[in-house]
Amino acid sequence: MSARPAIDGWFTTGEAPALLGSRCTTCATTYFPPTPTDRAGFCRNPACGGEEFATVELSRRGQVWSYTDAQYQPPPPYVSRTDPYEPFALAAVELDEGITVLGQVADGYGVGDLKVGAEVELVVETLNRADDGDDLLIWRWKPVTELGEEADQ
Amino acid sequence: MSNDVAVLGVGMHPWGKWGKPFTEYGVVAARAALADAGVAWTDVDLVVGGETVRNGYGGYVAGATFAQALGWNGARVATSYAACATGAQALDTARARILAGLSEVALVVGADTTPKGFLAPNAGERWDDPDWLRFRLLGMTNPAYFALYARRRMDLYGATQEDFARVKVKNARHGLANPNARYRKEVSAEDVLASAVVADPLHLLDICATSDGAAAVIIASPDYATRHGLDSPVRINAISTVTPTFPNTVLDMPNLSTDAHGGVEPERTFKESIAHAAYEEAGIGPDDVSLAEVYDLSTALELDWIEDLALCKRGEAEALLRAGDTTLGGRIPVNPSGGLACFGEAVPAQALAQVCEVTWQLRGQAEGRQVEGARVGITANQGLFGHGSSVILSR
Ligand SMILES: [Zn+2]
């Protein structure tokens, strides 16, 4: 039994995981999700005809743009990891690159731990278990607790 | 040269949940609009249908489906799909042929019959479709997007869940006497706050349902209206169906991310640009507006729209709401029809339903919900994949 990303090429795993973006080699605009590598990709800047992209790691930290949670089980193709279903939180996070990226919030954290503008960092956790027994991994946003705050909680 | 077209007639099939064929609803609305216009079906030379995507082939060619159901009369047909803006795009298509002198009288119809519960994506694995991936990878439902916008209002502008409930209370009251509304019942703030939280901070009663329903509009050139004996018909002054401009930096359903803003926020957000284009085209400003019909998919979203339409400054919609300015009798009534809160959403019909309501308001026929002295009305909505619309009507 092992673990693999739920989707190929969107993020790295390991010690310091990061989202993978595509940077247009013509106009330097960065995109997430990355442009596909197995077929043609086109820059979406209307003033650019670029078709070549470099894969880049995006900032591992960002500021919360907004947040919510899913108190009811979402419909398929969402697959709940637990039975019965356990609600989870979601956050949209603005990265230094100027891209806002949605993600689930790390296990153990809810909307009460979040605030618009608060700092979060990217972690990789298990989304659900595949039919072959592998854990499917996904990126998540984890609130950053500043030194000193921890003692107050 | 004015690009105005005249509204000869409007009609609706009431909103509800019966699961009948969408064609039946559409024909009822079309016949109501024809009767309202005093136009014979055989005089209509263009039918534009709003496509419904959950009703098989007949839904994909809705324009032809309605024309056939009304009895083939040789009219040209077209079908539009633009998510929530479908009806407005269909109206825009009809307007273009009329202004070009290629058609004389057009019937525009949208109708839908909808499934119960969350709107889920179509079946099958589609790893390059954001509308599928948002469910598969994140469990991101439509209400979750509405909740993100709602939470931002709370953290940035001090909105409260009580404010959101206040929107529902207002719209429920507005819709009480509307014969086409699905929900005609007073709702208290306590009812809203006691309903289950779906996606924090939004409760079940903050979020609109999906409904069956149909709306139809008959338009023609102002000359035709005069020949038809209409002295001062309601006119459509503008139909904005602009798409976003790059970079689109506000997270839109069903996307997982935004474009990179490169350090400079664009002059207008997409929703602001939809309304701006309508005002520009009409040569009418926000100060001239008597009423607005906006897409309250959630209560909180109505507050966003009030600002997107420049009816007040950013962050001030709660103050307007609390002062009663957006209530019937107030300075700028919003959703006098009762809005989606009282109707629920019937996607291809909804933008046309907004136009029907504004027409009734401008004619002084909105019994039990009339905005006194209404001269100018504006509609607004936004849907998936860069679609949105705003229509300005006046009399
Ligand atoms: Zn480029």
Ranges of each domain in chain A: 61-143
Six token digits for residue B229: 């004996």
- Note whether B135 contacts A78, CB cutoff 8 Å: yes
**Cβ proximity of A31 and B260 under 8 Å:** yes
A38, pLDDT greater than 90: no
**Cβ proximity of B306 and B157 under 8 Å:** no
**Residue B222's pLDDT is what?**
95
Ligand 1 centre to CA of A41 (Å) is 10
- State mean pLDDT over A34-40: 84
Does the residue B122 lie in any domain?
no
A148, pLDDT greater than 60: no
Same domain assignment for residues B240 and B196: yes
Closest by CA position to B381, among listed B280, B327, B302, B291: B302
A149, pLDDT greater than 70: no
- Locate the chain A residue with the closest alpha carbon to B262: A98
CA dist B174 and B334 (Å) reads 9
Domain CATH code at residue B172: 3.40.47.10
Does the residue B39 lie in any domain?
yes
Same domain assignment for residues B89 and B180: no
Contacts of B244 in chain A (CB under 8 A): none
Q: What is the pTM (predicted TM-score) of this model?
A: 0.95
Ligand 1 centre to CA of A9 (Å) is 20
A96, pLDDT greater than 90: yes
Same domain assignment for residues B179 and B94: no
Same domain assignment for residues B177 and B60: no
Q: Which of A102, A104, A115 sits opposite B257 (nearest CB)?
A: A102
**Residue A147's pLDDT is what?**
56
CA dist A36 and B118 (Å) reads 30
Same domain assignment for residues B69 and B177: no
Same domain assignment for residues B87 and B162: no
User: What's the Cα-to-Cα distance from B10 to each of B6, B262, B363, B367, rounded to whole Å?
Assistant: 11, 46, 11, 15
Same domain assignment for residues B81 and B147: no
Measured in degrees and rounded to the nearest 5, phi and psi for residue A42 equal: -130, 135
Contacts of B144 in chain A (CB under 8 A): 68-70, 90
Structurally, chain B folds into a number of domains equal to 2
Instruction: Give the ipTM of the model, two decimals please.
Output: 0.94
**Residue B117's pLDDT is what?**
55
- Find where tokens 């001030």 sit: B316
Does the residue B191 lie in any domain?
yes
Same domain assignment for residues B69 and B142: no
Ligand 1 centre to CA of A44 (Å) is 7
**Cβ proximity of B51 and B81 under 8 Å:** yes
User: What's the Cα-to-Cα distance from A75 to each of A79, A85, A127, B139, B385, rounded to whole Å?
Assistant: 8, 12, 15, 8, 21
CA dist B30 and B140 (Å) reads 37
Same domain assignment for residues B248 and B136: yes
Same domain assignment for residues B290 and B219: no
Q: How many helices (H) and strands (E) does chain B have?
A: 14, 11
Does the residue B78 lie in any domain?
yes
- Note whether B149 contacts A100, CB cutoff 8 Å: no
Same domain assignment for residues B165 and B290: yes
Contacts of A101 in chain B (CB under 8 A): 256-257
Does the residue B124 lie in any domain?
no
Tally C-beta pairs within 8 A across A and B: 125
Shortest alpha-carbon distance between residue A55 and chain B (Å):
15
Same domain assignment for residues B80 and B35: yes
In the three-class reduction of DSSP (H, G, I as helix; E, B as strand; rest coil), residue B343 is classed as helix
**Residue B217's pLDDT is what?**
98
A151, pLDDT greater than 50: no
Ligand 1 centre to CA of A46 (Å) is 8
**Residue B118's pLDDT is what?**
55
Q: Provide the domain limits for residue B257.
A: 130-206+236-394
Does the residue B105 lie in any domain?
yes
Does the residue B123 lie in any domain?
no
Q: One digit per residue, pLDDT tens: chain B, 395 residues?
A: 589 999 999 999 999 999 999 999 999 999 999 999 999 999 999 999 999 998 999 999 999 999 999 999 999 999 999 999 999 999 999 999 999 999 999 999 999 997 665 556 667 888 888 889 999 999 999 999 999 999 999 999 999 999 999 999 999 999 999 999 999 999 999 999 999 999 999 999 999 999 999 999 999 999 999 999 998 999 999 999 999 999 999 999 999 999 998 777 789 999 999 999 999 999 999 999 999 999 999 999 999 999 999 999 999 999 999 999 999 999 999 999 999 999 999 999 999 999 999 999 999 999 999 999 999 999 999 988 899 999 999 99
CA dist A124 and A127 (Å) reads 9
Does the residue B297 lie in any domain?
yes
A153, pLDDT greater than 80: no
Contacts of A32 in chain B (CB under 8 A): 257
Closest by CA position to B107, among listed B70, B57, B54, B151: B70
